[in-house]
Structure 1
Amino acid sequence: MSEAPSGDQITSVDELSDVQPSDWAFKALQSLIERYACIAGYNSNFRGNRAITRYEFAAGLNTCFNNIIQFMSSATDGSVKTKELTTLKKLQEEFGTELAILQEQVDTLQAHTAGLESQQFSTTTKLQGQVIMSVNAGGFDGKRITDSNGRELADTNPNPTVIYRAGVDLNTSFHGTDLLKIRVETGSGGALDNAAGVLEPNFGSSLDYSVKPPVDRDMVIGRLYYTFRPSSDFIVSIGPDIRATDYLDRNSYANRSFLDFSTQPFVNNFILFPVSGPASGGAVDWKPGQGAFALRAVYAVADAANPGNTGRITGASSFSRLLYPNSPGGERGLFGDSYQGTMEIEYSPTKNFALRLQYSGGEVFSNRFDVVGANFELTLGTQFGIFGRYGYSRFDNTVFGDIEPNYWMAGVSLRDLFQEGAILGVAVGQPFIDSNIGDATQTSLEAFYNYPLSQNIRITPSVQVITNAGNQDSNGDIVTSTLRTVFSF
């Protein structure tokens, strides 16, 4: 290889308008090309039969340098000699100005290309659907079942039932990073189409996918909102038909009633969402720098489309109606009754652990409430997980007085048992602990085994046991079983 002469033996390369075949730089790069074939696409420029411009030379030098670096990363025998690396460094110094201009042009071209790609995105709508079909049966010990106020609910076991819920999502994106969701869905008989919903209607024992609107075969809009990203780590959702539970209190093991647990105390923190049904409002999700912390917030109002103070307030939870059975509610609208604002901070340093701390406050049926909660999950190994939730709250002016109910649940989950993709889950909890309501504390237990028949079909047998239903010591144990089949497409 030709070496760069020292001192004043030749004119510096940066003083030449073109690079001549006789220049040391030309010969040095030509030697590198012959040894490493590092710029095969430029061979015609470096055959030595003509001069080339400094920018042609810089382009060739840049390509050769990048390919040699790539070659070095895979070579283990020291094939690239120190002398050749010194020559490359000298060439980069001599052509520093041209290399900088070349990089600037590449950056500009990439920016223009990205701009064209974003402008050429066409509006896209994707269709997603889900059908849930279940068979449910159950009964109780003793002569009768009473509610939290002592009123008789049943003196015979409910008949077995067939339950369904079907929905179709239209997911539309206008520029690739946003989402307009329109969900059309229908369902069967609501809280009264399953045994636990008949026998214990107030503390979340009904199947979650049954009790939530729509019910009674009505075909309605189930979600309507728009989501966009002001930045890569900040998400905003707004809409006239949202659910606070879609954005907060998530848990990898206990959160989706079509996949894991079916009853409300195990799907979400039961007392954190006095407004748990259809609502208008917005949500934000901020994960700074995609790091370990995330901050989320939701504002949800149950009757935003009503400018007055008449009519039934929809969207309130089952226990809210127990606490305020005769309240008509106050002024409605976007900032009226009933509403809640909820915040959550999540710490998840690894994919195997997450801790979420929560606060929810607002008014339900014109009465103040405040709730704090916690939610955690821990994965041990690749298949086993433990999880739990806790809540403490205050509700003013209920029919039971000013009360401060607690809530907790805990469970375990095992993945891939007997079949890849299968899920086994067991959880126990007490949805509403308050000595002012009843003379005991209800305890709920649920166990399920979710078995995938195919990528799109899952079948799940589950068992539910309830003791001291409705916080009444006189109530015998309630036992129900459900066979759930879910079709996703």
Structure 2
Amino acid sequence: MFKQKWPLITATASLLGVFVGVNSVEAQTKNEESLDWMQTKPMSQVTSVNQLRDVEPTAWAFEALRSLVERYGCIVGYPDRTFRGNRALTRWEFAAGLNACLNTMERLIQEGVSVLREDVDKLKRLAQEFETELAVLGTRVDNLENRVAFLEDHQFSTTTKLTGEVIFGLYGVAAGERDGGEDIDRVPALGHRTRLEFNTSFTGQDLLYMRLASGNVADLSETTGTFQSTLSYTQPDDNNVALEVLFYNFQLTENISVWLEAFGGATDDFTNTLNALDGDGASGAISAFGTRNPIYFAPGQTGIGLQGKFGFLEVSAGYLAGEGNDPTPGNGLFNGSYSAIGQIGIVPNERFGLAFTYIHVLTN
């Protein structure tokens, strides 16, 4: 608060009820009248700067402050639409309003209310233009910049991004025999796999992932008798739409990520498969066998996974239960089928990687 050793007289001509010392008898008389008026007239909030008669509406700063006030309600005035004093708003009074708007926006951010990027830019420009006045008010400009930086770092609202993917596949067995020497019918087929993915973030550093899927691409392993013929985009659902994957991923520390797998969990969600052809059907290998090592297809649905990255060293671990949602004997998180995996990898760049993997699987 700006103070001087003058007779203390409360003036109400400033934004946000800033009190000023005035060294004149005339000002004292006016302020005594203002005090009398305040005792009989309760304050009410004015939510639009253009309602204030003692603010010049043609200045750029006025327009900028008006938009901030109308969006965030950060200025309080009297019922007669003035801040008293019957004079134009001074620059340092305006700086007080700017400071108050920044306080309001900072509070809104802390409460989880989003602040627009364009408003942060306005604050930056206003802070530069009123740097001297902010110093008079006792507000350090570098502190103001830190607070603007806080707004920039925390201005994130819950966002959901919807993406879709459709694959049309013409497939069939062209040559060879079924595993065991039996003949295979050469019947071409056409099918599709359709996915809708919902990517939701609450902080900008996390991900709630939900995938709906439908399709009619048959599993060729039933025809050939070997997993090696399974297509990477196999979707034998008879065109029924169903929830296929649901997990939540967040940063536990700067280097460690956590996956909470609610449904459709897979070890490759949190484990680096070290395969450039791992495209999950839409890209990469055309067969599931070529997509990733078969050990990563271990059964599992529900559980937890962790991945730590420390420079070129990657460490992953996880546990997935096959029927984690089933409370009957022989099922559940720990009494039924499960997969437990641990992997240590050395990945100095995107073109080279080496990993040591251990996985323990129990199937019913």
TM-score normalised per structure 1 = 0.42
Q: 2:234 is matched with which residue?
A: 210
Distance in 2 between residues matched to 1:109 and 1:235, nearest whole Å: 33
Change (3 A) 1:229 1:304: same
**Which residue of 245, 248, 251 corresponds with 1:223?**
245
2:225 aligned counterpart, secondary structure = coil
Query: 1:352 Cα deviation (Å)?
Result: 2.7
Checking the alignment, whether the CA contact within 8 Å between 1:131 and 1:165 is kept in structure 2 is yes
What's the % identity of the aligned pairs? Answer: 27
Alignment partner of 1:364 is 2:354: no
Change (3 A) 1:351 1:264: closer
Query: 1:265 Cα deviation (Å)?
Result: 2.1
Q: 1:343 is matched with which residue?
A: 342
Distance in 1 between residues matched to 2:362 and 2:142, nearest whole Å: 54
Q: Which moved more, 1:258-267 or 1:117-126?
A: 117-126
1:340 aligned counterpart, secondary structure = strand
Tell me, which stretches of 5 or more residues in structure 2 are unaligned? 1-139
Q: 1:334 is matched with which residue?
A: 333
Checking the alignment, whether the CA contact within 8 Å between 1:179 and 1:228 is kept in structure 2 is yes
Alignment partner of 1:113 is 2:148: yes
Once the two structures are superposed, residues 270-315 of structure 1 have per-residue CA deviations (whole angstroms, 9 ceiling, x without a partner) of: 145431xx61112111112xx1111111211111111114xxxxxx
Higher RCO (CA < 8 A, seq sep 6+): 1
- Once the two structures are superposed, the pairs formed by residues 208-287 of structure 1 within 5 Å of their partners are 208-210=232-234, 215-241=237-263, 242-256=265-279, 257-275=281-299, 279-287=301-309
Once the two structures are superposed, residues 177-233 of structure 1 have per-residue CA deviations (whole angstroms, 9 ceiling, x without a partner) of: 111111111121431xxxx4343233332112205xx62212111111111112222
Once the two structures are superposed, residues 140-181 of structure 1 have per-residue CA deviations (whole angstroms, 9 ceiling, x without a partner) of: 45xx6354xxxx8x5442410012111011111111111111
Q: 1:49 is matched with which residue?
A: none
2:187 aligned counterpart, secondary structure = coil
Alignment partner of 1:123 is 2:158: yes
1:115 aligned counterpart, secondary structure = helix
Distance in 2 between residues matched to 1:205 and 1:262, nearest whole Å: 10
Distance in 1 between residues matched to 2:145 and 2:361, nearest whole Å: 49
Checking the alignment, whether the CA contact within 8 Å between 1:189 and 1:217 is kept in structure 2 is no
Distance in 2 between residues matched to 1:170 and 1:308, nearest whole Å: 31
1:117 aligned counterpart, secondary structure = helix
The letter of the residue matching 1:274 is: A
Checking the alignment, whether the CA contact within 8 Å between 2:172 and 2:186 is kept in structure 1 is yes
> How large is the RMSD of aligned CA atoms in angstroms?
2.4
The letter of the residue matching 1:135 is: L
- Once the two structures are superposed, the pairs formed by residues 116-195 of structure 1 within 5 Å of their partners are 116-141=151-176, 145-147=178-180, 155-191=183-219
Structure with greater helix share of residues:
2
- Once the two structures are superposed, the pairs formed by residues 3-152 of structure 1 within 5 Å of their partners are 109=144, 111-141=146-176, 145-147=178-180
Distance in 2 between residues matched to 1:334 and 1:108, nearest whole Å: 51
- Once the two structures are superposed, the pairs formed by residues 449-488 of structure 1 within 5 Å of their partners are none
Query: 1:107 Cα deviation (Å)?
Result: 7.0
Distance in 2 between residues matched to 1:190 and 1:301, nearest whole Å: 26
2:212 aligned counterpart, secondary structure = strand
Q: 1:296 is matched with which residue?
A: 316
Tell me, which stretches of 5 or more residues in structure 1 are unaligned? 1-104, 310-330, 366-489
TM-score normalised per structure 2 = 0.56
Q: 1:315 is matched with which residue?
A: none
Distance in 2 between residues matched to 1:198 and 1:300, nearest whole Å: 26
- Once superposed, which parts of structure 1, at least 4 consecutive aligned residues long, lie more than 4 Å away? 105-111
Distance in 2 between residues matched to 1:249 and 1:169, nearest whole Å: 21
The letter of the residue matching 2:334 is: F
